[in-house]
Amino acid sequence: MLDLDISEFFAEDGPLASAMPGYKPRPSQVELAQAIGQAISDRATLVAEAGTGIGKTWAYLVPAFIQGGKVLISTGTRTLQDQLFSRDLPRVRAALAAPVTAALLKGRGNYVCHYHLDRLQGDDRALKSRSEIQQLRQIQVFAGISKTGDRGDLAQVPEDADIWQRVTSTRENCLGQECPRIRDCFVVKARRQAQEADVVVVNHALFMADLVLREEGVTDLLPEADTVIFDEAHQLPDTATRFLGSSVSTHQLMDFGRALEVAGLAYAREATKWSDISRHLETAARELRLACAPLERLPGRKATFEAIPNADEFDTALAVLREAVDTATNALGSVAERHPDLVAAARTGAEISVRLKRWATPGRGGSGFDDEGWGRDNQAPEPPAAALGDGLSTPTAILEGAAAAVEWTGPAVRWVEHGLHHVRLHSAPLSVAQAFSKYRKPGQAWIMTSATLSVNGEFHHFTSQLGLERARTGKWESPFDYPQQALLFVPRGMPEPQSPQFLDRFVQTLLPLLEASPGGTLVLCTTLRAVDKVANLLADAFDDAGHDWPLLKQGEGTRRDLLDRFCKLTHPVLVGSASFWEGIDLPGDVLTLVAIDKLPFAPPDDPVIEARLRACRAQGGNPFSEYQLPEAAISLKQGAGRLIRTEADWGVLMVGDARLVEKPYGKQLWRGLPPFARTRELEEVLAFYRRKQE
């Protein structure tokens, strides 16, 4: 432990200022660091909202280093995780001369798997194109020279390239201790380093995966820690909902069918008719997809379990599919000891069987519900005994975990989603509060920080979602001069948001701002459909007005690619949806206009949200004020936060939805935004732009 008061580290003559040119002390940063340090000392939970520009990363790294103990830092995205580990953490550690070791740990899908790489290069039929042959060669060279095997370090192969799925492992197809390449395993090395390091940087997805595995009795994913720091903590409720739920798709079923046939024919050819079993499974998956055909005519091409149009046909197809999966899993289980590939396939079958069981129980008649809302199915097949193998500890743990997962309880919602080429069955808990909060160890400090955790200064919406009723809370304001740096513009005379003319008018109103703004523009839409419509309208408007401004649209490249292009182009306009509302840092004149089409109320056809609203109503609550409005306030604050990132930034935030000003609840939304200057007059906006460019 370093022997200085926290404030001294942030002083003008302190170690941070000495090591980092241009460093300026910020009182709010010091106060935040002190509150974090106190929470670590007290082993308490602190929910800290830190306005943009405070420097929250340094505010938590300093006390994390000087308080000692094992620290786990969880970030919202892998991008932020890499940035924290490779940039912020080393700079602060060097400035403090802190004797701490650090490790980076990601989910296993981020590391090249030697075993699956060897198998792929021995299977000529598995490569789909010349580009994949080239990508495979690059990955082979990378795997031979890389110390980490982290696919993020191989920029030549796009992160969304399909080949990554075949050269990395999943929990189901990892061979564990039975793998012939276990000594070279990048995942094992990364986890070993994490166990030994003082500070481990992970992401929320990995943290939640660890929570789920601990529920199932598997405890070797993340190390024990004295302090857990959650950066971008506002993402935790959604991440927890996703990981505490489950899904299974017809894609997965088809892949399982192919994997069992390949493994069976290779290592137990005479045991059974593997091709027949695989064909039966694939046929059952196709029949389920056919039974879901009526969903194509429903909003969002999805329906809850209770609202499936042809319920009898669906239930019959699901029963046939469950039987096919169980038959295949038992066949694999009877020969699994012959080869690790058979164990991996059997484990995949057991996992799928568990997920399908959640869909079959409780039944449609309503019988079988337990007190918590889930059902119990005493007729569920046991995991095949032979699949456990003798001494195969990892398969044993995961198969037994798969069986135990069925007992996870709590009110939940189930829905079917019909894609263009697949059907996906989802289940998700209505509340993650109990499961998430009980994961905190006694005597462990939890620090949660983000720029968007409160609604009108209150933290109840966030803390109640995660079961953090006894948490300390605090809000530290941004040091930026928002009234001078930015202007909020809500135009007059806009149609109602649901009007067919709304987006046309939105683009017409936006055009004079685009002409006045010297930098780039980020147009944030609330739906993907609106992204397409707005981009098309802008393209037509540019042609009519003779503008040759670059127009970028979500879906025309990866998020990183679009943002890289945005920064290099002159006067670019980028139209995006959900993933562009947060985690984007475009300082300076790169971005001088952010336009939001509508208030970001969650879509009513989202099954999880619909079920939560229904549950709130059933308990006598007001779903709009208790759930929809707080969620919209946090999302709007995220979107608005893209505009001003440094003390030198400036620009205009346009919100096309007049409800922000004209509805009584609008005040709750705009009061939650940074204190921009405000106007409804176009002339004032144009004058603002002229003044800033003088």
CB proximity list for 140: less than 8 A, separation 6 or greater: 117, 121
The string of pLDDT tens digits covering residues 277-293 is 999 999 999 999 999 99
The mean of the pLDDT values for the chain is 88
How high is the pLDDT of residue 602?
A: 86
How high is the pLDDT of residue 228?
A: 97
Distance of CA 588 to the CA centre of its chain: 28
The string of pLDDT tens digits covering residues 554-592 is 989 888 889 999 999 999 999 999 889 988 889 888 999
Question: What are the CA-CA distances from residue 562 to residues 312, 568, 663 (Å)?
Answer: 46, 10, 35
How high is the pLDDT of residue 397?
A: 41
Structure tokens at 593: 């206009």
| Over residues 60-89, mean pLDDT | 92
Distance of CA 113 to the CA centre of its chain: 23
Residue with tokens 């393209």: 539
Q: CA-CA distance, 48 to 63, in Å (whole number)? A: 14
User: CA-based angle 504:510:512, to the nearest 5?
Assistant: 125
DSSP 364: T
Q: CA-CA distance, 439 to 447, in Å (whole number)? A: 14
Side-chain-side CA neighbours of 523 within 13 Å: the count stands at: 29
| Over residues 653-667, mean pLDDT | 96
Parallel, antiparallel, or unpaired: how do β-strands 412-418 and 302-304 relate?
antiparallel
Side-chain-side CA neighbours of 278 within 13 Å: the count stands at: 18
What the chain holds in terms of domains, given with CATH numbers, is 26-106+188-243+432-476 (3.40.50.300), 108-184 (no CATH), 245-361+395-428 (1.20.120), 482-693 (3.40.50.300)
| Over residues 378-385, mean pLDDT | 36
How high is the pLDDT of residue 504?
A: 97
CB 558 within 8 A of CB 536: no
Structure tokens at 440: 């905190």
Q: Name the strands in the sheet holding 246-249, side by side, starting at the edge strand that comes first in the sequence.
A: 246-249, 423-429, 412-418, 302-304
How high is the pLDDT of residue 391?
A: 33
Residue 496 has pLDDT above 90, yes or no: yes
Beta bridge partner(s), residue 655:
596
Q: What share of the chain is helix, strand, coil (3-state, %, to 5)?
A: 50, 15, 35
The string of pLDDT tens digits covering residues 230-260 is 999 999 999 999 888 889 999 999 999 999 9
Helix (H, G, I), strand (E, B) or coil at 183: helix
Residue 377 has pLDDT above 50, yes or no: no
Helices (H), 114-229: 114-121, 130-145, 164-167, 186-196, 204-215
How high is the pLDDT of residue 370?
A: 34
**Exposed, middle or buried: residue 323 (CB in 10 Å: 0-12, 13-18, 19+)?**
middle
**Maximum average pLDDT range among 190-204, 392-406, 597-611:** 190-204
Of 438 and 597, the one with more pLDDT: 597
| Over residues 46-65, mean pLDDT | 95
CB 383 within 8 A of CB 402: yes
How high is the pLDDT of residue 558?
A: 81
Residue 217 has pLDDT above 80, yes or no: no
Question: Dihedral sign, CA of 65, 67, 71, 74?
Answer: negative
**Cα Rg of the chain (Å, integer):** 27
pTM score: 0.87
Q: CA-CA distance, 54 to 44, in Å (whole number)? A: 22
